[in-house]
Amino acid sequence: MFDTDAIEGIHELEKELPEALQYWHKWGNIAELHHRHVYRPEHGDDICCIEMVLQDIRAAHAIRVSLFHVSGRISFDTNGGFYSGLTIEDCAAWGYEPEHRFRISSLEQDLDLEIYCETIKVALIR
């Protein structure tokens, strides 16, 4: 349903969520958004990471989405803007660089979101 098998934890999420919530656009509330840099000793560098807690429209369920080695842009219209879910695409077959494997975007005009990342991890919170 999520159509992104390469995401770590996606199969566990699919087992625990109702089928109606197994689409990225159903997660229309960003409850938390955190940005940080993480040091990778094996590469000797820092990478940008974003962690979001997303809720379904009724706030009955929440998932943690962690994005690693992120690049791109995020901006919000905080004066009455709205958001109704993400689009996550696996670009591995498109010839993109490995650090740009996933493309995360939103079609809503009040949320300018187009980022790329190397890996994604998801987990059900409730």
What's the pLDDT score for residue 68? 95
Longest Cα–Cα distance of the chain, Å, equals 43
Residue 5, domain member (yes or no):
no
76 within some domain: yes
Q: Total structural domains in the chain?
A: 1
Which spans in 4-44 are helix H?
10-16
Residue 16 confidence (pLDDT): 95
Residue 7 CB coordination number (10 Å): 19
CB 51 within 8 A of CB 68: no
E strand or H helix at 2, and its extent?
none
Structural domain range at position 83 = 10-124
Domain membership of residue 4 (yes or no) is: no
Residues of the chain falling short of pLDDT 70:
1, 77-84, 108-110
Residue 2, domain member (yes or no)? no
Q: Which two tokens stand for residue 83?
A: 């958001």
User: Is residue 1 a part of any domain in this protein?
Assistant: no
> Is residue 74 one of the residues assigned to a domain?
yes
Q: For position 78, what pLDDT does the model report?
A: 63
Q: Does residue 40 lie within any of the structural domains?
A: yes
Within-domain flag for 3: no
